[in-house]
Amino acid sequence: MLCACSGEQHKFEEAPQSPESLATRDFSASGLSSRTGDWESKLDEAQVEEAESTLKEALSLNYEEARALLGRLEYQQGNFEAALQVFQGIDIKGLIPKMIRAISERTKQNKPRSKTDIVVIPNVMSLHSVSLLSEAVLLKAKSLEGLGRYTESAKECRIILDIVGSAFPNGMPKGIGEDCKLQEMCHRALELLPNLWIKAGFLDEAVTAYRRALVKPWNLEQPRLAALQKDLATTLLYAGVEVGPPSLLQVSGPTLKSNVEESILLLLILMSKMAIQEIDWDAEVMDHLTFALSVTGMFETLADRVEQILPGIYDRAERWYFLALCYSAAGHNEAALNLLRKACGSSEGTHGPHFPSLLFGAKLCSQHPSYAHEGIKFSREVIDLAKNQNEHFLGEGHKFLGICYGAAARLSALDSERSIFQRESLDFLNRAAVNGNGDPEVIFSLGLENAIQRNLDAAYDNIMIYSDVTIGSFARGWQLLALIVSAQQRFKDAETIVDFALDESGRMDQLELLRLKAVLQISQQQPKQAIETYRILLALIQAKRELWLQDENVDQAKEFKHEVLTERKLEMEAWQDLATIYGDIGSLLDAKACVNKAQFIEFFSPRSWHITGMLFENRSLYKEALVSFSVSLSIEPDYIPSIISTAELLLKLGMQSLPIARSFLMNALRLEPTNHDAWFNLGLLSKREGSLQQAADFFQAAYELKLSAPVQKIE
């Protein structure tokens, strides 16, 4: 065989054919004329001279090498059909063993040598010939790709990797690319093969091809290796299919449980490379990682990666905003608000206000009543900026401002201030409803605020409008509607609404609706039905817990941590409600057992200690009851039921305790002005003191408030 790079000729079983006769036969087969005029119509003079020069350089080319050269010329001209005709004449399957042997034998020369030192190994191809034939296979694959025959193209492309993989089972050694183009052909095949499988619609084969490129060392440059890692990560992340690693690609180390985990690992590797500046910054990698970690609930990991990004990629306000989103999604709202304060602080004043941080700050504060006054500041800045720059966010600013004013009203200790805040809340929420173009969230917030302020007719109308414009789950709408109807003392209608909502809602919403149904049954003096409803609720929670224990999926447990905590809270509230029912019907032992169940879930629950105090009071153990109420208030000083119960107990102790009882009741009304129990006990206290007119006014207020009180507190 002829070594094209050395000019040496070797004997072959089949005599080489002349380039001229080969060209004539190839072009006739492809429908081209063999005449000189037709040949020149396809190739210009310079290209013919280049081909002749290449052929003359070799003393005599064998059949396959000549086809490889002529096929390359056709491919360079864009004649994919003609190139394919030429390449199909190469018996590559018969040459595979010779090519593998040539690669193995020729690369055993470990001593460094100059390019002029030719090592002759008898009856073995030169690496140059192997490179030429590998290029022919690659160009054949690209010709098939150009003709839209992607599956055939991928199979041809895979031949190159099979040859090199057989010659180098442990990966390609360094230095092989110095004397020939074999390494470059292999690299191009590694990059091309997955794309061909994707175009052919075989995503599992594409993933396998990517993994094959990454599982062994192929001497890829870092940018090319990073590109393959990124492409595999995105394919795994967005392909929508699970592709397990085949047995040939099993490697030692921890087993990845899903394609998303593998994708995250690859993206984290790329982020580490960018952090040490091994590769250039690629914003798309960060975008993909953000999506992957978000859908898996790994927000704290995402925050850690954002903090590792080198300075200068994001400006400070943008970085703080990004981190705030991560920490908020992870449930660390205090940390998120601290970051937003930095992004909106005076240190960033020279760069102008960061509108997304202001908007997000207003949203977070609107969700947490304790930050209501800070939320008012954020919201007002949002409104001021929206008027000049972002008018489409004006409705959002009004919505958050209205919600924050409503929360501030409930925190206010002054009646005059509370009245102003309540009026401002409804005013801005109505503005948001006008500017929001039927935004369901605005309408729901308006209905909620009207319900809290006992504007029941307006609240009912708002929630009915909300039901008309809402697409998807309406569980919280049904729940609020049932509470509004119950505040109108239509308990049966409210229960009917809950029954309807149970059929339309998801599992978590069903648990909350079941508890509401039981509370409505209690209001209708149906304790047996309520106990049965609680039994169903607790059975569902227990069944779900058993599924969690059987699953033993730690990652899934982290992902649904919020759901687990919600179920635990619902379970505790169910036991507390049952304790109250049993206490009311005189079954004190059952009531105590239910309280113990609730305290086992959360020992420091103010309601559990309050119920314990009520049970002591039912047994005329006033001292023990007072201690239990005190424990409840030490856990939560503003727990209104314990404040009122303490006042009731003091009323029973005699005239000397009346001033203290009045103090407790006034504190309860400061916290919740619409609490009818506080007004009623204040009337009893005034009657005991001899202020009959004042007592009558208090009783009247208690009666009117009770007529508009929902069965559960609206929050």
pLDDT at position 105: 81
Contact 405, 425 (CB under 8 A): yes
Measured in degrees and rounded to the nearest 5, phi and psi for residue 33 equal -75, 145
User: Cα separations (Å) of 559 from 258, 263, 329, 550, 554?
Assistant: 15, 18, 11, 17, 9
- Tokens representing 696 are 């009558």
Mean per-residue pLDDT of the chain: 83
SS (HEC) of 402-437: HHHHHHHHHHCCCHHHHHHHHHHHHHHHHHHHHHCC
Residue 11 has pLDDT above 70, yes or no: no
SS (HEC) of 216-244: CCCCCCHHHHHHHHHHHHHHHHHCCCCCC
Q: Report which of 502, 503, 570, 584 is spatially closest to residue 538, judged by C-alpha positions.
A: 570
The model's pLDDT over 456-502, given as tens digits with 9 standing for 90+, comes to: 999 999 999 988 887 666 788 889 999 999 999 999 999 999 998 88
CA distance 490 to 499: 15
User: Cα separations (Å) of 426 from 308, 373, 571?
Assistant: 44, 16, 35
Least confident of 30-34, 52-56, 293-297: 30-34
The model's pLDDT over 77-102, given as tens digits with 9 standing for 90+, comes to: 989 999 998 988 888 888 888 888 88
CA distance 126 to 149: 32
3-state secondary structure of 8: strand
Residue predicted with more confidence, 329 or 49: 329
Looking up tokens 């063993």, which residue turns up?
97
pLDDT at position 484: 94
pLDDT at position 37: 41
CATH class in words for 45-107+124-220: mainly alpha
Q: What is the mean pLDDT of residues 111-140?
A: 71
Q: Report CA 660 to chain centroid distance, whole Å.
A: 53
Q: Show me where the domains of the chain are located.
A: 45-107+124-220, 506-548+560-603, 604-714
Residue 38 has pLDDT above 90, yes or no: no
Q: Report which of 563, 632, 633 is spatially closest to residue 603, judged by C-alpha positions.
A: 632
pLDDT at position 41: 42
Looking up tokens 């970690």, which residue turns up?
293
Amino acid present at 630? S
Confidence class for position 347, pLDDT limits 50, 70, 90: low
Q: What angle do CA 163, 167, 172 make, to 5 degrees?
A: 100
Contact 644, 675 (CB under 8 A): yes
Rounded to 10 degrees, the C-alpha dihedral 353/355/359/360 comes to -90
- DSSP H helices, 309-393, are 316-329, 333-343, 355-367, 372-388
Confidence class for position 439, pLDDT limits 50, 70, 90: confident
Confidence class for position 42, pLDDT limits 50, 70, 90: very low
- Tokens representing 386 are 């929206």
Q: What is the mean pLDDT of residues 642-665?
A: 89
Q: What angle do CA 229, 233, 237 make, to 5 degrees?
A: 175
Q: Which long-range contacts link 699-703 to residues 24+ away (Cβ below 8 Å)?
A: 701/676, 702/676, 702/677, 703/676
CA distance 190 to 262: 19
CA distance 21 to 25: 6
Residue 10 has pLDDT above 50, yes or no: no
CA distance 545 to 567: 9
Contact 67, 136 (CB under 8 A): yes
pLDDT at position 6: 32
Residue 401 has pLDDT above 80, yes or no: yes
Crossing angle between the packed helical segments 475-487 and 507-523, to the nearest 10 degrees: 10
Q: Report which of 445, 444, 402 is spatially closest to residue 422, judged by C-alpha positions.
A: 402
| DSSP line for 43-96 | S-HHHHHHHHHHHHHSSS--HHHHHHHHHHHHHHTT-HHHHHHHHTTS-HHHHH
Counting Cβ atoms within 10 Å, is residue 201 exposed (0-12), middle (13-18) or buried (19+)? exposed
Handedness of CA 337, 341, 344, 347 (dihedral sign): negative
Domains 45-107+124-220 and 604-714 share a fold: yes
Q: What is the mean pLDDT of residues 532-541?
A: 92
Q: Report CA 715 to chain centroid distance, whole Å.
A: 28
pLDDT at position 714: 87
Measured in degrees and rounded to the nearest 5, phi and psi for residue 13 equal -60, -35
Residue predicted with more confidence, 670 or 124: 670
Looking up tokens 């919740």, which residue turns up?
672
Residue 60 has pLDDT above 70, yes or no: no
CA distance 193 to 158: 7
542: how many CB neighbours lie within 10 A of its CB?
12
Answer yes or no: CATH 1.25.40.10 is held by domain 604-714.
Answer: yes
The contacts of residue 108 (CB under 8 Å, 6+ apart) are none
- Tokens representing 681 are 């006990």
Amino acid present at 291? F
CA distance 578 to 570: 12
CA distance 591 to 526: 17
Q: What is this structure's pTM?
A: 0.77
CA distance 658 to 686: 9
The model's pLDDT over 190-236, given as tens digits with 9 standing for 90+, comes to: 999 999 999 999 998 999 999 999 988 888 899 999 999 999 999 99
Residue 122 has pLDDT above 90, yes or no: no
SS (HEC) of 150-195: HHHHHHHHHHHHHHHHHHCCCCCCCCHHHCCCHHHHHHHHHHHHHH
Amino acid present at 229? Q
Q: Taking the domain 506-548+560-603, which CATH number applies?
A: 1.25.40.10
Residue 19 has pLDDT above 50, yes or no: no
CA distance 643 to 632: 9
Confidence class for position 543, pLDDT limits 50, 70, 90: confident
| DSSP line for 631-686 | HHHHH-TT-HHHHHHHHHHHHHH-GGGHHHHHHHHHHHHHH-TT-HHHHHHHHHHH
Q: What is the mean pLDDT of residues 115-126?
A: 59
The contacts of residue 561 (CB under 8 Å, 6+ apart) are none
pLDDT at position 40: 40
